[in-house]
């Protein structure tokens, strides 16, 4: 946390003293606490309110300017916003970090301890949710009028802990304390219906819902760099129209009396913890319709307040669908325009399509939402009719089409999103090409101009400036502060990397981060790691396609090799794993158990542990990522080629000077192109080779036969070497990798194992390694979400910055 910009937009300059006074006044008058008795929570709340006051000015100014200019607005609809903590982000974006540090120091408090008292807003599962959060921060930094719309889950992603190495899930309680960053908006409430029937009278359709619930808004300001602009994240909370049934209460039916409220709240009670499998649950569809319908009503209410010609809608409103989860937006907008406002059906469809665009984040078949027609028609009878008509109109227009929305009794939300969007984008160059060749090949043939690519990005404020002070200070000292707002300025480092001076400081910054992280591991988990060892991180959701089981099998092979030759000149390495498995995903939970079991054996192994340690950190979330990433030397991006749509952790790690060992998958391809093949450890099959390899019978058996190291590692697992007393514990994992092995762990093992040996050798030349790492930082500027959002604004939304 570094340099301040004293002169703050919209408000008077503020220094430590003034900020301290603001904190003190909030402690007294907002928290009602005497400093003598104030807890860390109280100081955090007081500081948060004092900082929030400084955000509000920019927020109001942005809203007023948007109205004044009648500007086009971007609406980002997402079931997930993986925000993390907000206090430090606000301090850094407002340039108040040092002032806050000094103000708290004056009270005998440590800023980082106060910052870490804030619970993460874990309103997302992984990549999709975090991308949405990075995008909101970049939209504000660019001064683009925008709003994020989502659900105010009472319980975010579950808390993960390990019992005997197994994942245990517990509810997450971020709202059990006051949440200082949101404002309740009782005036922004909408009634939404479910179920019921549709009455058709003289050509008009009238939907009579059977169940009604209210959506109430809670607003969180999203501040941008240097506090020049702030947009709103509006999250909807479900409330009962009549929360309390006094009649039942008076009859002593206390449950019955509370039932309406409990039932309604269920809709925004908890985030579904699946990030790749469409469970097809009714509540999930209710959640999707709930926030989408409330958002569209709010969008039209705002439009009506400024315009009275609906034909202007596509010029003033750009709605981005973050995957298919808000896809009902198409039929619902048509319903609002046609059924409620009398716009002709096809005109309503044209206007809706003019507003909507859709991002696809996965090609995994099991993740593509397809609702049962029965369930869908029961919950949304009118939308079912509208979807049927849209599908029939498209069939009439393209008689030779192969794809359809209504297919084998399901409603395919990918096809619906495609047909109702003016643009469809993938999230990396490879992913977008694979979309055209696979899931949307037929629709791409019919609408060749609709699919474009927008490679993901990450915000450099949170993922470099804020989480990596040591490196940020060096960057600013070396090339000035411009990089924070224009990340491609990092390329100015290049001339300095070859020479002396900068590279030593660069290596020192990494080593300082590793020391700090090592101390934290020691405090939290009583682990002792050597900051000179290679910190090798695989941090992401647990999934077969991400192949954490490939990483642990290779770790076992390395362990066995060290045992074969204990006096060999081994490169010390700490393999860091972190990530949650969807509660119902048995195989992923077995992988977690296996990694913890291997860690227990290896970390206790006196012969090998000075060369090889394994740690699985529990409860991976945004805040833990902010701790691990600055301290990482190696970034594991080892998914089966063609499966990871993009990845964003890969970008964060490269930016923070970790070298990537990875396949040609997702954005790895573009990272390698930008940082240089010589600064990237590539291994494994390409997406094409993967498809070909699968055709070969017994491909796994062949690979095992050709790679003794793999066979030996598998044998150790199969024989219960890591599960004393339950030898068969991992029979499933071993049989899968030796048999069907759909994600080709066995077939990519030899290449991976050999590449890891190269990595170990490369790490021994610390100077050369530091230079490769510095080239990764210097050449990762393109992966800023400012670049991504700039392209969405110009190529999809037609939105302009008002800064």
Q: Which residues bind ligand 26W (CB under 6 A)?
A: 125-128, 131, 274-278, 323, 361-362, 367, 369, 427, 456, 644-648, 666
For 146, 189, 427, 444, the CA distances from 294, given in Å and listed in that order, are: 17, 8, 27, 31
- What are the contacts of 596-601 at 24+ separation with CB within 8 A? 596/162, 596/165, 596/166, 597/165, 597/722, 597/723, 597/729, 598/552, 598/555, 598/556, 598/722, 600/165, 600/722, 601/721, 601/722
- When the beta carbons of 231 and 453 are compared against ligand 26W, the nearer one is 453
Q: Which residues contact 81 (CB under 8 A, 6 or more apart)?
A: 121, 123, 124, 129, 132, 133, 136, 148, 150, 233, 235
Nearer to ligand 26W, 440 or 502 (CB): 440
Q: Which of 546, 547, 573, 580 is catalytic?
A: 546
Nearer to ligand 26W, 129 or 331 (CB): 129
Q: How far is the CB of 656 from ligand 26W (least distance, A)?
A: 17
Task: Give me the residues paired with residue 317 across strands.
Answer: 73
Shortest reach from residue 749's CB to ligand 26W, in Å: 22
Residue nearest to ligand 26W (CB): 127
3-class DSSP string for 778-800: HCCHHHEHHHHHHHHHHHHHCCC
CB of 639 to ligand 26W, least distance (A): 8
Active site residue 589: no
775 closest CA partner among 535, 492, 497:
497
Nearer to ligand 26W, 133 or 645 (CB): 645
CB-based contact 182:198 (threshold 8 Å):
no
Least separation, in Å, of the C-beta of 435 and ligand 26W?
12
Of the listed 26, 573, 652, 755, which one is catalytic? Answer: 652
Phi, psi at 371, each rounded to 5° = -85, 145
Look up residue 434 and give its two tokens.
Answer: 């694979």
329 and 291 Cβ atoms separated by less than 8 Å: no
Kindly name the residue from 232, 359, 459, 648 that is annotated as catalytic: 648
- Out of 52, 431, 461, 540, the active site residue is 540
If you search the block for the tokens 């092979």, which residue do you land on? Answer: 557
Separation CA 504–CA 434 (nearest Å): 42
Closest CB to ligand 26W among residues 657, 666: 666
Strands 634-637 vs 659-662: parallel, antiparallel or unpaired: parallel
Name the residue among 594, 592, 590 with its Cα closest to residue 580.
592
The 8-class DSSP code of residue 155 comes to B
| 540: annotated active-site residue | yes
- HSE at residue 220, side-chain half, CA atoms within 13 A, is 24
Q: How many Å apart are CA 395 and CA 404, to the nearest integer? A: 8
Minimum distance from residue 437 beta carbon to ligand 26W (Å)? 17
Question: Any alpha helices (H) in 30-96, and if so which ranges?
Answer: 40-69, 87-94
Output the CA–CA distances (angstroms, integers) from residue 183 to 49, 56, 146, 300, 475, in the order listed.
12, 11, 17, 22, 37
DSSP string, 512-567: HHHHHHHHHHHHHH-----TTSEEEEEES---GGGTHHHHHHHHHHHHHHHHH-TT
User: What is the DSSP pairing of strand 370-372 with strand 317-322?
Assistant: unpaired
If one counts every other C-beta atom within 10 angstroms of the C-beta of residue 260, the result is 18
Nearer to ligand 26W (CB atom), residue 320 or residue 596: 320
Q: Which two tokens stand for residue 227?
A: 């506090």
Between residues 99 and 654, which has the closer beta carbon with respect to ligand 26W?
Answer: 654
CB of 356 to ligand 26W, least distance (A): 18
541 is catalytic: yes
* Beta carbons within 8 Å of 181's beta carbon, 6+ residues apart: 48, 52, 86, 90, 220, 221
Active-site choice (72, 155, 361, 589): 361
Q: What are phi and psi of 122, to 5 degrees?
A: -100, 55
The residue among 425 and 747 lying less far from ligand 26W, judged by its C-beta, is 425
The answer to whether 317 and 797 are in contact (CB under 8 A) is no
Which residue among 444, 541, 575, 693 is the active-site one? 541
Q: Indicate the burial class of 651 (C-beta count within 10 angstroms; 0-12, 13-18, 19 or more).
A: buried
**Is 30 in the active site?**
no
Dist. CA 507–CA 414, nearest whole Å: 46
Nearest residue to 573 via CA among 533, 628, 629, 524: 533
CA distances in angstroms from 488 to 38, 133, 333, 568, 782, listed in the order given: 44, 21, 39, 42, 6
277/795 with CB nearer ligand 26W: 277
Nearest to 82 by CA among 528, 801, 622: 622
Q: Which residues are catalytically annotated?
A: 361, 540-541, 546, 648, 652
């Amino acid at each position: 946390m570094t340099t301040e910009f004293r002169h703050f937009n919209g408000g008077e300059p503020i220094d430590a003293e003034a900020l301290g006074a603001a904190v003190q006044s909030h402690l007294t008058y907002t928290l009602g606490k005497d400093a003598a008795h104030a807890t860390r929570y109280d100081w955090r709340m007081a500081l948060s309110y004092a900082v929030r006051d400084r955000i509000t000015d920019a927020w109001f100014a942005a809203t007023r300017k948007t109205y004044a200019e009648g500007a086009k607005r971007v609406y980002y609809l997402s079931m997930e916003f993986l925000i993390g903590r907000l206090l430090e982000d606000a301090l850094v974006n407002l340039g108040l970090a040092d002032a806050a540090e000094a103000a708290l120091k004056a009270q005998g408090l440590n800023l980082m301890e106060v910052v870490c008292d804030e619970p993460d807003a874990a309103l997302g599962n992984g990549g999709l949710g975090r991308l949405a959060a990075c995008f909101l921060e970049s939209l504000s930094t660019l001064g683009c009028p925008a709003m994020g719309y989502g659900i105010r889950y009472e319980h975010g992603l579950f808390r993960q802990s390990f019992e005997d190495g197994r994942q245990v899930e517990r509810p997450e309680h971020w709202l059990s304390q006051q949440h200082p960053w949101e404002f309740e908006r009782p005036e922004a409430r909408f009634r939404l219906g479910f179920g019921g029937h549709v009455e058709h009278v003289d050509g008009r359709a009238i939907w009579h819902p059977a169940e009604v619930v209210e959506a109430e808004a809670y607003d969180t300001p999203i501040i941008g760099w240097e506090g020049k602009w702030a947009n709103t994240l509006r999250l909807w909370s479900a409330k009962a129209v009549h929360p309390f049934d006094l009649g039942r209460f008076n009859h002593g039916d206390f449950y019955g009396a509370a039932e309406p409220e409990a039932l309604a709240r269920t809709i925004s009670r908890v985030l579904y913890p699946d990030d790749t499998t469409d469970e097809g649950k009714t509540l999930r569809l209710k959640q999707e319709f709930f926030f989408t319908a409330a958002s569209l009503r709010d969008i039209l209410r705002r439009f009506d307040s400024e315009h009275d010609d609906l034909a202007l809608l596509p010029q003033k409103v750009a709605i981005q669908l973050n995957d298919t989860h808000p896809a009902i937006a198409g039929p619902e907008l048509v319903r609002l325009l046609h059924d409620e406002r009398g716009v002709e059906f096809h005109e309503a469809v044209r206007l809706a399509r003019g507003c909507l665009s859709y991002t696809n984040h996965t090609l995994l078949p099991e993740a593509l939402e397809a609702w049962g027609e029965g369930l869908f028609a029961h919950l949304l009878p009118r939308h079912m009719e509208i979807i049927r008509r849209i599908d029939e109109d498209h069939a009439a227009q393209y008689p030779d089409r192969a794809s359809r929305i209504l297919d084998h009794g399901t409603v395919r939300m990918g096809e619906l999103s495609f047909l109702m969007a003016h643009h469809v984008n993938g999230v990396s160059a490879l992913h977008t090409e694979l979309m055209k060749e696979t899931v949307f090949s037929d629709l791409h043939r019919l609408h060749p101009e609709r699919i474009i690519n927008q490679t993901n990005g990450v915000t450099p404020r949170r993922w470099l400036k804020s989480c990596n002070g040591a490196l940020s200070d060096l960057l600013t000292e070396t090339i000035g502060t411009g990089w924070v707002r224009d990340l491609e300025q990092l390329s100015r480092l290049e001339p300095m990397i070859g020479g002396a001076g900068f590279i030593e400081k660069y290596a020192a910054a990494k080593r300082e981060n590793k020391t700090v992280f090592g101390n934290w591991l020691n405090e939290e988990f009583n682990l002792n790691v050597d900051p000179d060892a290679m910190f090798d991180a695989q941090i992401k959701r647990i999934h077969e396609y991400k192949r954490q089981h490939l990483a642990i099998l290779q770790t076992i092979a390395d362990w066995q090799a060290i045992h074969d030759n204990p006096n060999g000149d081994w490169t010390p390495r700490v393999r860091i794993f972190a990530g949650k498995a969807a509660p119902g995903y048995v195989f992923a939970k077995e992988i977690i158990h296996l990694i913890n079991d291997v860690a227990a054996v290896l970390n206790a192994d006196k012969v090998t542990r000075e060369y090889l340690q394994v740690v699985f950190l529990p409860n991976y979330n945004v805040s833990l990522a902010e701790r691990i990433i600055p301290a990482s030397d190696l970034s594991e991006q080892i998914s089966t080629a063609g499966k990871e749509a993009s990845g964003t952790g890969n970008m964060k790690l490269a930016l923070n000077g970790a070298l990537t060992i990875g396949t040609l998958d997702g954005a790895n391809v573009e990272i390698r192109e930008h940082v240089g093949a010589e600064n990237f450890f590539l291994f494994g099959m390409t997406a094409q080779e993967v498809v070909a390899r699968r055709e070969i019978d017994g491909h796994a058996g062949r690979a095992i036969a050709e790679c003794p190291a793999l066979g030996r590692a598998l044998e150790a697992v199969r024989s219960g070497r890591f599960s004393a007393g339950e030898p068969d514990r991992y029979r499933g994992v071993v049989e899968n990798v030796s048999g069907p092995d759909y994600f080709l762990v066995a077939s990519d093992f030899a290449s991976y194992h050999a590449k890891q040996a190269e990595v170990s050798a490369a790490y021994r030349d610390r100077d050369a390694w530091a230079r490769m790492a510095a080239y990764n930082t210097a050449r990762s500027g393109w992966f800023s979400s400012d670049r991504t959002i700039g392209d969405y604004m110009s190529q999809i939304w037609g939105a302009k910055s008002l800064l």
